[in-house]
Amino acid sequence: QLQLVESGGGLVQPGGSLRLSCTISGFDLQLYSIAWFRQAPGKDREGISCIVGSDESTKYLDSVKDRFSISINYGANTVYLQLDRVLPEDTGVYFCARSARFALCELSPSRYGAWGRGTQVTVSS
């Protein structure tokens, strides 16, 4: 059964770190791209980062590329998003999503058809 489950969210102070996990089941990570998105209250869902399962090539939103890092653990069927030096504007619900088979890494939500339920990240002092 196809499933993506996010975890690792929580409350973190500005400048702090958090690691989000997207654990998948029901498909082979090496055949798809996985992306992380976030949605702040009242705003559209935006693409943060993505990774291609076959070669681990990555892409980042400009505002996070020097602070966030995406990676894959194939043995654990998990895609991670490491958040460092977080800012209040990083607050939102973070979702992971799966692309179509063999699709390239893109940050547009319309390119992803399977989604997790999200995990809340709140950056506040």
76 DSSP 8-state letter = T
> pLDDT tens digits for 86-97?
999 999 999 999
Q: pLDDT tens, 37-90?
A: 999 989 999 999 999 999 999 999 999 999 999 999 999 999 999 999 999 999
On whether the CB atoms of residues 12 and 121 are closer than 8 A, the answer is: yes
Side chain identity at residue 29, one-letter code: L
Residue 91 CB neighbour total at 10 angstroms? 18
Q: Which two tokens stand for residue 111?
A: 């390119």
